[in-house]
Amino acid sequence: MTQVLVTGATGYIGGRLVPELLAAGYDVRVLVRHPERLGSREWAGQVDVVAGDATSRDDLRRALVGVDVAYYLIHALAAGGGFADRDRGTARGFAVVARELRVGRVIYLGGLHPDGDHLSPHLESRREVEQILLDGGAPTVVLRAAVILGSGSASFEMMRYLTERLPAMVAPRWIDNRIQPIAVRDVLRYLVGAAEIPSDVSRAFDIGGPDVLTYREMMRRYAAVAGLRPRVIRAVPVLTPRLASLWVGLVTPVPPGIARPLVGSLVHEVVAQEDDIRRYVPDPPDGLLGFDDAVALALARIRELDVRTSWSSASTPGAPSDPLPEDPDWTGGSLLVDDRARPVATSAEALWTVIEGIGGAHGWYSWRLGWVARGLMDRLFGGPGLRRGRRHPHRLAPGDALDWWRVETIEPGRLLRLRAEMRLPGLAWLELSVEDADAAQPTFRQRAVFLPRGLLGHLYWWAISPFHGIVFGGMQRNIARAAQEHTTPGVPR
């Protein structure tokens, strides 16, 4: 069997590519920093997992040894300043190790861009990475795509929320630039097919769907497919990409750090200049999926709660990844803890159902105004705020984004541990657990843990301490009440 390596397997594309490769008969290996996040993937037991970081050449050597085809699906999309340096360094290391270990084929999913233009920083970095890989010495195929249409993709979610939430809007004048979107289904088909391209072919290919549209037309056609009233869109010359990304960050769940490169890319017309990929990966019998059909399919996935991966699946650059320390003197300082426990007159199953359903549209069972205000403050400082929501309304898995938290650990029926990804002067966790599950009244334990960073961290904790009774006490009481009343998770706010 052909040995394939997938990097970025916990991301939006990588998480969907792995099962497609398995179905095509490939022997798949994945390189991931946090193997525990693969636990909920139905394919996790069918792949060879290498724990490591793509920035480490030693880790790359362990992952790439014996590999025939390597997929490079790594982008520092929301890493803030210096993302181009990080992308450049990671790509160079990957290219060096791939050549050293004689990898038969490298495949990279890059960005569709016009030739010769002064590109946005995001597209320029994509172009630089593709050139580094093409010049690296291993045969390389680059697939260049523009807007990817699929449930959970950042580009699709940005368009979806803008269209659904704003019946009338002002937009930058480059909203009338032409774009060639492509359905995620067709992107995956090209990625799988690229593994069989002959080794003497080393080049970039443009890939796109059958429709060329402006962003204005895309929003209007989205509204029609979704059954919304026609949208009124006015173009103005004063919205810079930065201002537009801040506006997108306020209206949609996509934070400004991710919205900025996406919006910046729209300044350019991104239309495929050739379709040479069809020589090696022919179109399916029913043709490529058009815009309207791709939108309809994505919306059906959302309605059926079948969004397999999301833009929020990937780690948030700069967010802490440290697990909750067992040692209270982990870094020479004490953990600050708010610990509450109470018996609940209900079954352990009912209590767990409410715990696992927390967040997103269900809310946090606490002082709603306080949570909303804190979420807005977090977004102003570049954090995720509360708008990431959750992937599934009732089920959680390790690595899932949950508003400004990330699921660090979940032991069904017993423990949910969340790690904060909000902007904080320290590290924070929230534990919700069911104890004494076999007793007549199980115990609901709620523990907020904070590891302060310097004096500012201590001041932050003591400044919010007076509100703990309102926030954490209210949360515990309302979760217990919801479990006792067997209500739909999230009704008590």
Contact 382, 419 (CB under 8 A): no
pLDDT at position 274, please?
95
pLDDT at position 81, please?
56
Q: How far is CA 36 from the centre of its chain?
A: 16
Q: SS3 letters for the chain?
A: CCEEEEECCCCHHHHHHHHHHHHCCCEEEEEECCHHHHCCCCCHHHCEEEECCCCCHHHHHHHHCCCCEEEECCCCCCCCCCHHHHHHHHHHHHHHHHHHCCCCEEEEEEECCCCCCCCCHHHHHHHHHHHHHHCCCCCEEEEEECCEECCCCHHHHHHHHHHHHCCEEEEEHHHHCEECCEEHHHHHHHHHHHCCCCCCCCEEEECCCCCCEEHHHHHHHHHHHHCCCCCEEEEECCCCHHHHHHHHHHHCCCCHHHHHHHHHHCCCCECCCCCHHHHCCCCCCCCCCCHHHHHHHHHHHHHCCCCCCCHHHCCCCCCCCCCCCCCCCCCCCCCEEEEEEEECCCCHHHHHHHHHCCCHHHCCCCCHHHHHHHHHHHHHCCCCCCCCCECCCCCCCCCCEECCEEEEEEECCCEEEEEECCCCCEEEEEEEEEECCCCCCCEEEEEEEEEECHHHHHHHHHHHHHHHHHHHHHHHHHHHHHHHHCCCCCCCC
pLDDT at position 316, please?
54
User: Both 382 and 306 in a single domain?
Assistant: no
Q: Would residue 196 count as lying in a domain?
A: yes
Of 247, 280, 313, which residue sits at a domain end? 313
Q: Would residue 329 count as lying in a domain?
A: no
C-alpha triplet 129, 131, 134: angle, nearest 5°: 110
pLDDT at position 403, please?
87
pLDDT at position 490, please?
43
User: Both 144 and 283 in a single domain?
Assistant: yes
Of 279, 313, 347, which residue sits at a domain end? 313
Q: Would residue 324 count as lying in a domain?
A: no
Q: Would residue 318 count as lying in a domain?
A: no
Count of CB atoms within 10 A of residue 347's CB?
17
User: Both 253 and 362 in a single domain?
Assistant: no
How far apart are the C-alpha atoms of 132 and 91, rounded to whole Å?
A: 7
CA distances from 461 to 56, 337, 386, 425, 481 (A): 36, 10, 20, 9, 28
Q: Would residue 165 count as lying in a domain?
A: yes
Contact 434, 347 (CB under 8 A): no
Tokens of 393: 């309304």
CA distances from 128 to 88, 308, 351 (A): 7, 30, 51
Residues in the chain: 493
User: Both 130 and 239 in a single domain?
Assistant: yes
User: Both 113 and 189 in a single domain?
Assistant: yes
pLDDT at position 239, please?
67
**Looking at residue 50, which CATH number applies to its domain?**
3.40.50.720
User: Both 8 and 133 in a single domain?
Assistant: yes
pLDDT at position 80, please?
54
pTM above 0.75, yes or no: yes
**Looking at residue 453, which CATH number applies to its domain?**
3.30.530.20
User: Both 111 and 164 in a single domain?
Assistant: yes
Q: How many domains does the chain have?
A: 2
pLDDT at position 35, please?
86
User: Both 235 and 348 in a single domain?
Assistant: no
User: Both 290 and 361 in a single domain?
Assistant: no
User: Both 280 and 404 in a single domain?
Assistant: no
User: Both 276 and 352 in a single domain?
Assistant: no
Tokens of 295: 């939108």
Of 282, 313, 344, which residue sits at a domain end? 313
Quote the domain boundaries for residue 181. 3-313
pLDDT at position 72, please?
97
User: Both 8 and 140 in a single domain?
Assistant: yes
Q: What is the mean pLDDT of each run of 10 residues along the chain (493 residues)?
A: 91 93 96 82 91 93 96 75 82 96 96 80 88 95 94 88 88 88 96 95 96 94 94 82 73 74 79 95 94 94 77 56 54 74 93 92 84 77 74 84 88 92 88 91 93 86 86 92 70 38
CA distances from 11 to 6, 58, 314 (A): 11, 22, 4
Q: Would residue 290 count as lying in a domain?
A: yes
